[in-house]
Structure 1
Amino acid sequence: MTHVTIEYCVPCGLLSNAVETQRTLLETHGQRLDGVTLDTGDGGVFEVRVDGATVYDKSEEGYDRDAIVERVGDRLD
């Protein structure tokens, strides 16, 4: 099975984005995931990793929950 980690910037107030992303991933792919964990960070970070490999980095593009869900799904196929 697969594990997803969402690292988000606490000082930037990105917790709500992280929680919404986590919820959407679990609703969409939950039966194929071992879990989705939230890791605190700083410096504007918002990264999503699947089994350690980065599939989304906010510093490279704007926040897009649909794109994140799609990329995680691509890793599961």
Structure 2
Amino acid sequence: MTDVEIEYCVPCGFLNRASDLAEALLSAFGDDLDRVSLVTGDHGVFRVTVDGDVVFDKDEDDYDVDAITREVRDAI
């Protein structure tokens, strides 16, 4: 099974993005995931890891729920 961590910037107001992404991942892969964790951060962070490996970082990619979901699918 798989652990997904979504680290998001609290001061930036990224909670809605993080919770929307968590819902999308749980809807798509619920039975294949052990955990989807929301982790608070700052300094503009929005990063998604699967079992410790970064699959999305907003510094490198544009935020797109569908694209991130595909990256998570590839990782699991």
Q: Which of the five TM-score ranges fits, normalised by the shorter chain?
A: over 0.9
Whole-angstrom CA distance in 1 between matches of 2:58 and 2:64? 9
Query: How big is the alpha-carbon RMSD for the aligned residues of Structure 1 and Structure 2?
Result: 0.5
In the alignment, structure 1 segments of 5+ residues that lack a partner are none
Residue equivalent to 2:46: 46
Whole-angstrom CA distance in 2 between matches of 1:45 and 1:10? 9
- Per the TM alignment, residue 62 of structure 1 is displaced from its structure 2 partner at its CA by 1.5
In the alignment, structure 2 segments of 5+ residues that lack a partner are none
| Count of residues in correspondence between the two structures | 76
- Per the TM alignment, residue 61 of structure 1 is displaced from its structure 2 partner at its CA by 1.6
Q: How does 1:1-77 map to 2 (within 5 A)?
A: 1-76=1-76
- Per the TM alignment, residue 23 of structure 1 is displaced from its structure 2 partner at its CA by 0.2
Which SS does the other structure have where 2:31 is aligned?
helix
| Paired-residue identity, % | 54
- Per the TM alignment, residue 40 of structure 1 is displaced from its structure 2 partner at its CA by 0.2
